[in-house]
Amino acid sequence: MTLRFASLGSGSEGNALLVESTDGTTSTRILLDCGFGIRETVRRLERLGCAPESLNAILVTHEHGDHVGSAYAVAAKYNIPVWTSHGTYRATVNLRGADRAAVRFCRADDMFSVGDLQILPYTVPHDAREPLQFVFNDGARRLGVLTDAGMSTEYLCAHLENMHALVLECNHDREMLANSAYPWSLKQRIGGDFGHLANDIASAILARVRHAALHTVVAAHLSKQNNTPLLAGQAIAVALGIDAGDVPIADQEEGLPWYAV
């Protein structure tokens, strides 16, 4: 059994992460968020060698447009089940395709399975109705994902322990955000406890959950205006004791190629 992941793109203009487990004969493919239009989603999937018809599920973390995007429309078109929280569904029920997609509900700390993957949802501090992030487990390897959270909590860190790979939000540099042209209210939202992770908070989370078997940490959801790949990479590198140039960055346009867990 092998477990791997790739990003279709990550940032305020759209997010989608592809997770795949395979035993050599059968595969399970899950799309975590679908923040692009239908055509763009298909194009980016095909760039990774994945046909939309091969997806076993789409997971939606929360209702913000850069995450839910065309999730229901893609699901309805290609007959893919959507997993999300009741709160997220209530906030997105009027989106295109929501009335035709096969929607299944999950909630924090109730594990469920899709194909060969066990999936554990957990809640995060973010300004959405019922946001979830996820841990993926194929029985041997564990991939943790954390984006769209404003702060670190004991609960959150506990769910990210013992990972082999981690996709971690490094949204903004505090100084760049403070000096940006954003209005004060937006700065407060982004930098608040229910906004997005600053580089230093991501680094502190990583310092807490790092262990010998954690071999890959990807910096994700970088702000184009308030962060740089170098600063995000440095935040991860400091916590791991590696060079910043060795930190993979999930890019908004190019995404991220396949990485083994």
**Residue 168 above 90 pLDDT?**
yes
Q: What percent of the chain has pLDDT over 70?
A: 100
Helix (H, G, I), strand (E, B) or coil at 27: strand
Average of per-residue pLDDT across 80-90? 99
**What is the rounded CA–CA span in Å between residue 201 and residue 180?**
19
Query: Domain limits of the chain?
Result: 2-260
For the chain, what is the total number of helices (H) and then of strands (E)? 9, 13
Instruction: Write down the architecture of domain 2-260 according to CATH.
Output: 4-Layer Sandwich (3.60)
pLDDT tens for 173-198 read: 999 999 999 999 999 999 999 999 99
**Residue 122 above 90 pLDDT?**
yes
**Residue 42 above 90 pLDDT?**
yes
Average of per-residue pLDDT across 219-234? 98
Instruction: Please list, in sequence order, all residues whose beta carbon lies within 8 angstroms of the beta carbon of residue 182, skipping any fewer than 6 positions away.
Output: 190, 225, 226
**Residue 91 above 90 pLDDT?**
yes
- Helices of type H across 79-165: 86-92, 154-159
Residue 185: its H or E element: helix 184-191
Residue 73: its H or E element: helix 71-78
116 pLDDT tier (thresholds 50, 70, 90): very high
**Of 86, 77, 12, which is closest to residue 45 (Cα–Cα)?**
77
Q: What percent of the chain has pLDDT over 90?
A: 98
DSSP string, 230-258: HHHHHHHHHHHTS-GGGS-B-BTTTBEEE
At residue 79, what are phi and psi to the nearest 5 degrees?
60, 50
Q: Tell me, what's the pLDDT at 170?
A: 99
Helix (H, G, I), strand (E, B) or coil at 68: helix
45 pLDDT tier (thresholds 50, 70, 90): very high
Check if the beta carbon of residue 191 is closer than 8 Å to that of residue 226: no
Greatest CA separation found in the chain?
54
CA distances from 80 to 31, 48, 105, 118, 137 (A): 10, 18, 14, 18, 21
**Residue 1 above 90 pLDDT?**
no
CA distances from 25 to 11, 20, 50, 69 (A): 34, 13, 16, 32
**Residue 76 above 90 pLDDT?**
yes
Average of per-residue pLDDT across 107-134? 98
Average of per-residue pLDDT across 73-89? 99
**Residue 24 above 90 pLDDT?**
no
Check if the beta carbon of residue 154 is closer than 8 Å to that of residue 177: no
Beta strand pairing call for 27-32 and 57-59: parallel
